């Protein structure tokens, strides 16, 4: 008999259901008896004992279903040690629920914050396995997170659609792509969509360099320019500020602009006099069905998690490293970000094709 818990925490993505399906199908084929407890709405379900027993048949037919059948919520890691409004110790409550259900393992699907809480539970003595979910692809210790390529497809399609209207009206268009701290999604979607300028959090931009690229295209007879801008893109001037000064500056910018793309648009318009349009795909990048790549990747993640459970090898994140599934100790990856290296080969190759990063 194996008793496992499943929960999905943080922002949703297209392949959460596909990954849970892989876990359950892998275990169902490996052991004689299996009980699956699904915690509702992320860590909230574990804290307050809000769960339901799931029949293995419920995991059939969800390979292509986006979102999560368990629901999700954001529970900031920094508040996990802070009692709730009623004085409840959240960590002790999660441990109590785990032991009450006599779980062999808790399988946690989520991003960086989710992973840090998973590591906390490991340190508290619970058997946990983390599966790396995020459209940002910023989890340290794995080459690829599930959900990333599905979001790349959607962001790329948005840029593709902008091309025709940009060309028709000879305008500068900005497409803002998700990614507060890292630019993997913007980088991939920008390259795949043929963006002329890509602005990433890891490469602070010089607005004059951005304008220089736009003018260069105009002189070459190209009447439009497309920018793929990460929502965490930052100028060189702002990047040089101290933390307090930057926080103050960002607060002031937030009063003037809905998001960074509108700031960039205003700066370009002021310097060029050209008409600028901004498109923000937003949460559409998290929605819809997982792409075929993510369906395969999620199935592999789930199967490897099932194998780790059968081996009683806990306290790890399942990662994809050099094309193979690997069990990465949570203590080695929790709390670390995988960022885009400005000196990496992919950036060099993008620049060789004429893409500007505003630097």
> Is 55 assigned a catalytic role?
no
The CA distance from 136 to 123, in Å, is 26
Strand pairing class (276-279; 172-177): parallel
For the chain, report the end-to-end CA distance as a whole number of angstroms. 58
Cα distances from 19 to residues 16, 59, 60, 301, 306, in angstroms, run 5, 10, 12, 7, 11
Contact 351, 200 (CB under 8 A): no
Q: Which residues pair with residue 139 across a beta bridge?
A: 337
Q: Which of 70, 74, 155, 59 is nearest to 111 (CA)?
A: 74
Percentage helix, strand, coil for the chain under 3-state DSSP, each rounded to 5: 45, 20, 35
213 neighbors 184 (Cβ within 8 angstroms) = no
Apex 214 CA angle, 210 and 216, nearest 5: 115
Residue 8's DSSP bridge partners are: 109
* Catalytic, out of 136, 138, 196, 294: 136
Catalytic residues: 136
């Amino acid at each position: 008999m194996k008793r496992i818990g499943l929960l999905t925490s943080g922002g949703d993505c297209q392949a959460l259901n596909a990954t849970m399906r892989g876990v359950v199908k892998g275990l169902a084929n490996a052991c004689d008896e299996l009980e699956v407890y699904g915690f509702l709405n992320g860590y909230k379900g574990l804290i307050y004992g809000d769960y339901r027993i799931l029949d293995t048949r419920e995991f059939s037919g969800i390979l292509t279903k986006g979102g999560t059948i368990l629901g999700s919520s954001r529970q900031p890691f920094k508040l996990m040690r802070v009692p709730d409004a009623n004085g409840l110790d959240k960590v002790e409550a999660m441990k109590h629920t785990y032991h009450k259900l006599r779980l062999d393992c808790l399988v946690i699907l989520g991003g960086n914050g989710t992973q840090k809480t998973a590591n906390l539970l490991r340190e508290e003595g619970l058997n946990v396995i983390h599966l790396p979910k995020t459209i940002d692809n910023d989890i340290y210790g794995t080459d690829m997170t599930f959900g990333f390529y599905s979001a790349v497809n959607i962001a790329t399609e948005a840029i593709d659609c902008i091309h025709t209207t940009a060309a028709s009206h000879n305008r500068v268009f900005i497409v803002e792509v998700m990614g507060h701290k890292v630019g993997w999604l913007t980088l991939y979607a920008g390259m795949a969509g043929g963006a002329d300028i890509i602005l990433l959090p890891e490469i602070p931009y010089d607005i004059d360099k951005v304008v220089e690229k736009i003018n260069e295209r105009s002189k070459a007879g190209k009447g439009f320019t497309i920018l793929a801008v990460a929502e965490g893109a930052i100028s060189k001037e702002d990047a040089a500020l101290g933390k307090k000064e930057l926080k103050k500056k960002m607060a002031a910018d937030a009063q003037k602009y809905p998001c960074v793309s509108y700031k960039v648009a205003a700066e370009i318009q002021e310097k060029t006099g050209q008409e600028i349009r901004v498109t923000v795909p937003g949460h559409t990048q998290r929605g819809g069905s997982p792409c075929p790549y993510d369906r395969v990747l999620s199935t592999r993640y789930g199967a490897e998690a099932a194998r780790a459970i059968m081996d009683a090898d806990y306290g790890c994140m399942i990662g994809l490293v050099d094309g193979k599934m690997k069990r990465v100790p949570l203590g080695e990856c929790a709390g670390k970000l995988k960022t885009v290296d400005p000196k990496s080969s992919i950036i060099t190759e993008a620049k060789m094709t004429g893409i500007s990063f505003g630097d």
